[in-house]
Amino acid sequence: MGIDNQITSYRQCFTTGAGRRVLAHLLIEAGYFDCDLKTTEELAVLNFAKRIIKNMGITLQNVEEFTGKLFEISIGKEM
pTM above 0.75, yes or no: yes
43-69 burial code (b ≥16 CB/10 A, e <16): eebbeebeebbebbbbeeeeeeeeeee
Q: Is residue 24 part of a domain?
A: yes
Q: Is residue 61 part of a domain?
A: yes
Average pLDDT over residues 2-27: 92
The whole domain housing 24 covers 3-70
Q: Is residue 78 part of a domain?
A: no
Q: Is residue 77 part of a domain?
A: no
pLDDT of residue 75: 84
pLDDT of residue 65: 92
Return the higher-pLDDT residue of 52 and 70.
Answer: 52
- Round the average pLDDT of the chain to a whole number and report it: 91
Average pLDDT over residues 24-33: 95
Query: Are 52 and 26 in contact, with CB atoms under 8 Å apart?
Result: yes
Confidence of residue 25 (pLDDT cuts 50, 70, 90): very high
Q: Is residue 75 part of a domain?
A: no
Q: Report the number of distinct structural domains present in the chain.
A: 1
